[in-house]
Structures are given as structure tokens and as C-alpha cells.
Structure 1
Amino acid sequence: MTDDGAGLAGFHALPANVATEALLTCCSSPEWARALVEARPYPSVDALLDTADAVLAGLPESEIDQALAGHPRIGERPDTAASAREQAGVATAADAVRSALAAGNRAYEARFGHLYLVCASGRSGSELLAILEDRLGNDAETERRVMRTELAKINRIRLRALLAANR
């Protein structure tokens, strides 16, 4: 994807409180949003994305839990336009796949104590179900690491969309 200098300039021009609120639509961790606002200006979109990844990697688990709280379960009715776009492949899934995703979500949450999070963009319901079933075999530490990686992917997609909206 091309560097969106116009969107980055628009992001830099936002007052801190407005920029923070905009970032919270990408990731609901207040600490993550605050750190990204405080690090402005960025020389490039890549620098913003890299900073977003670095901040996320350093967040305590309590902030990751807040970030997870901003995401619907895979297969449930998305609560934001971003989630609806990201889960578009689930919307057309067969009833059996949707039922299996619901059961898998319950099993996942019982096993790991948090929401099953996956970067769903461009993936079918069946593919998301297969990923969920595979990840149920992870130990808790591995799964927490995988979940953070998926969260970073989602944040990058949403940050790019935010910049596109700030042109």
C-alpha cells in the first residue's frame, strides 16, 4: 500500500483529544492511543505503524484486555463498521459454520479466559473456524503471543483506514 502523506498530515493536525478518540476506534487500549498521540509527528506512515506495533508489544496484560474488549466475537454481529468489514466472510458462512464458531468461541474463552481474536479480513467463516480449532491446541503463553500478533495486524489495517479518512 502506498504511503498516505495527506492522511498522516491530517492525523498530525488533529487536536490531541480528537486524535486519541480516533485511535481508540482502532484499538481500545487508552495507553496505546495516548502513546501514539504523544509520539507525533511521524515522518511516515510506516513509522506510525512501527510505533503502533512497538507500543502494543510493550503494553501490560491489563491494557491488552482493554484492547480485546473493543472487539466482537468472531461470528457475532459486529458492533462497528470496521468489524463488519473485517468479518465480512463470516456474514456469508453457512449456518453450521456460524454455529461451530459460536461453540468454538465458548471453548476458546473457557480455555484461555479471553476473546478469540484473529485478523479476519479477507478470510471466510470456514477459514476462521479452522484457525480457531487449531489455536485451541496452543498453550496459554503461546496463545497470548499469537493473539497480540493478530491484534497488531488489525491495528495496522484500522490505522491505514483512519489515515485514509483524514485526507
Structure 2
Amino acid sequence: MTREAIGLAGFNSLPDDAAEQALLACCSSPRWARAIAAARPYPTLLSLLDAADVAVDMLSEADIDAALAGHPRIGDRATGTAAHEQSGVTGDDVRARLAEGNRAYEEKFGHIYLVCAAGRDGEELLAVLRARLENDPTTERQVMRRELAKINLLRLIQLVAS
């Protein structure tokens, strides 16, 4: 189940605490949610999305860890928005291989494998995971930030769609 779209005008008019709660459903970093809520009103969807990207770039490593805490592992039986985003992950065999890849990834990098899964099937997500296992930790952290930004943008679009 996905959250209800409130439109850009509706988002701009929310009280600060309600806006932050809506944003935390997009990205569980409180600093990110506060930054986006505080910069309202947004004249266009594009200005909101640009602000969201800038806010991700400004997050500390601890803020990124908070954002990661809000995401299920790829291939786990997700609920809500994450279930929709991972709808291409089907089959016990693919899930088992993703679970194995997730363990290797977490052992190497110390955090979950985060990838924008929307529109991708399990085999593609597994191939991306295997390729990213070749990254060094610094490169992978940068890749993961960009994936977080993509997920945030998709969720924001869903939130303010009208």
C-alpha cells in the first residue's frame, strides 16, 4: 500500500511537523526531512526535487545511516511503498541469491545494499549487487548516496502527485 498523494500545494501548506512526518515516509533521515520541510513553499515539483537532491548531498554519514535504517533489504518481503518498489523481485531462488549477496555486501561495507529497485527485476538487482561488490568502500558509499537520492525522488513524486 502506498501513501496518499497530497499535491504540491497540499504539501506546501502542511504544518511543519506534518510535513516532516510525510517526508520521513520518503526518507527516514530526520535531518533530510527537516531541511526539505523548512525550505517550503516550493513553486514547482522540480524545485522540490532539486532541494531533495541538495539535501542528500549535505547529509553526514550518520544521517545516511539513519536513512538506510528505513529501508528493507532487497529481496526481503517488504511492505508498503518498498513492496511496490521491489515488485520485480519474485521467486524463492532469486530471493535466496539476493539474501546471500546481501550478507556478502553487508560484511564488506557495513550497511545494507541500497538500490533504486523500481522497474527492475530480481536478476537485474542481483547483477547490480554483484557489480557493486567490486567497489571500494568510498566509491560504494557515493553510489549508495546516489541510489538513496533516486529513491527519495520517486517517493517525493508519489507524495505530491496530483
Instruction: Render the CA deviation track for 1:25-79: whole Å, top value 9, x for unaligned.
Output: 0000000000111100111110000000001101100000000000000000113
Name the counterpart of 1:136. 133
Task: Confirm or deny that 1:107 pairs with 2:109.
Answer: no
Name the counterpart of 2:86. 87
CA distance in 2, matches of 1:157, 1:16: 22
Name the counterpart of 1:55. 55
CA distance in 2, matches of 1:89, 1:102: 15
Name the counterpart of 1:71. 71
CA distance in 2, matches of 1:136, 1:153: 20
Q: Secondary structure at the match of 2:42?
A: coil
CA distance in 2, matches of 1:37, 1:101: 35
Code of the aligned partner of 2:47 = A
CA distance in 1, matches of 2:63, 2:33: 11
Code of the aligned partner of 1:161 = Q
Code of the aligned partner of 2:68 = L
CA distance in 1, matches of 2:110, 2:131: 17
CA distance in 2, matches of 1:37, 1:75: 31
Name the counterpart of 1:34. 34
Moved over 2 A (4+): none
Structure 1 residue 95, shift from structure 2 partner: 2.2
Instruction: Render the CA deviation track for 1:65-117: whole Å, top value 9, x for unaligned.
Output: 000000000000113x1101100000x2x322111100000000000000000
Length-normalised TM-score, structure 1: 0.92
CA distance in 2, matches of 1:119, 1:19: 23
CA distance in 1, matches of 2:93, 2:25: 31
Higher helix share: 1
CA distance in 2, matches of 1:109, 1:140: 11
